Chain A
Amino acid sequence: MTQQLLNAIFIGSIYALFAVGYTLVFGVLDVLNLAHSAVFMLGAVITYSLVALHGVPFIFAALVAVLVCGLLGLVIEFVALRPLRRRNAPPISALISTIGLALIFVAIVEQATPGTLFSWLWQDGANSVRFPTGAVPNPTYHVAGLTLEGTKLGILATSVVLMLVLGYVIRFTQVGRALRAVAENRRAATLLGIDVDRIFASTLFLSSALGGLAGLLFGLALSDISPYIGRDQVELKGLAVIVLGGMGSIPGAVVGGYLLGLIEVLAFVRFGSNVEAGVAFAALFLMLVLRPQGLFGARLKERL
Chain B
Amino acid sequence: MRMRLPGITVAVALVLAACGSATSGGTSTSSSSYQGKTINLGAILSLTGAGGVYGPSSRKGMDLAVEKINNSGGVNGAKLALDTEDDASDKAQSAQVAQRLIQQGQLLALLGPTLSNSAVAVHPLAESFKIPILAVSTTGIHIVPDCNYPKTDPCKYVFRDSLGEEAAIPANIKVYSQKAHPKTGVLLVANDDKFSSDGGKIVQGAVGQYGIQLLDTVQFSKTTADFAPPVTRAVQKNPDVIFITSLGGIPAKIMIEARKQGFTGQFLGGNGFNTAVVSKQAGAAGKGAQSGSGWYINNTFPSNAAFVKAYRDKYGSDPDQFAAQGYAGILILADSAKRANLTFTDTAGDRTRLRDAMEKVNIDTPLGRFQFTSTHDVKQTIWIIQMDGAGGFTLVTSVSPS
**What is the interface of chain A, defined by CB distance below 8 A to chain B?**
3-4, 7-8, 10-11, 110, 125-130, 133, 140, 142, 147, 149, 218, 222-224, 226-229, 232-234, 237, 264-265, 268-269, 272-274, 276-277
Contact = CB atoms under 8 A, between A and B. Distances in A.
**B53, B232, B277, most chain A CB atoms within 10 A:** B232
A274 B283 contact: no
Contact of B53 (A4, A127, A272): A127
A3 B232 CA distance: 7
A11 B249 contact: no
B226 interface: yes
B47 interface: yes
Contact of A11 (B218, B221, B223, B228): B228
A228 B218 contact: no
Nearest to A3: B232
Contacts, number: 93
Nearest to A234: B225
Contact of B262 (A142, A232, A264): A142
Given A226-B249, A274-B192, 18 more contacts: A4-B232, A7-B228, A7-B229, A125-B47, A126-B49, A127-B249, A128-B248, A133-B284, A147-B261, A222-B253, A223-B257, A224-B225, A229-B225, A268-B220, A272-B219, A273-B191, A274-B191, A274-B220
B281 A274 contact: no
B219 A224 contact: no
Contacts of A237: 225
Contacts of A133: 283-284
Given A4-B232, A133-B284, A127 B277 contact: yes
Given A128-B249, A273-B191, A11 B220 contact: no
Nearest to B52: A126
A126 B284 CA distance: 22
Contacts of A110: 48
A233 B219 contact: no
14 contacts: A7-B228, A8-B229, A11-B228, A126-B52, A127-B249, A129-B281, A133-B284, A218-B225, A222-B225, A224-B249, A224-B253, A227-B48, A233-B223, A234-B225
Interface string B222-248: 011111111011001000000000001
Contacts of A223: 252-253, 256-257
B226 A222 contact: yes
Interface of B: 47-49, 52-53, 56, 191-192, 218-221, 223-230, 232-233, 236, 248-249, 252-253, 256-257, 260-262, 277, 281, 283-284
Contacts of A127: 52-53, 249, 277, 281
A149 B260 contact: yes
A268 B281 contact: no
A152 B253 CA distance: 16
A223 B252 CA distance: 9
Nearest to B316: A114
Given A272-B218, A272-B219, A273-B191, A130 B232 contact: no
A233 B252 CA distance: 17
A28 B204 CA distance: 53
Q: Which A-B residue pairs are the 6 nearest by beta carbons?
A: A126-B52, A128-B249, A274-B221, A126-B48, A233-B225, A7-B228
Contacts of A125: 47-48, 52, 56
A122 to B, nearest CB: 13
A129 B253 CA distance: 10
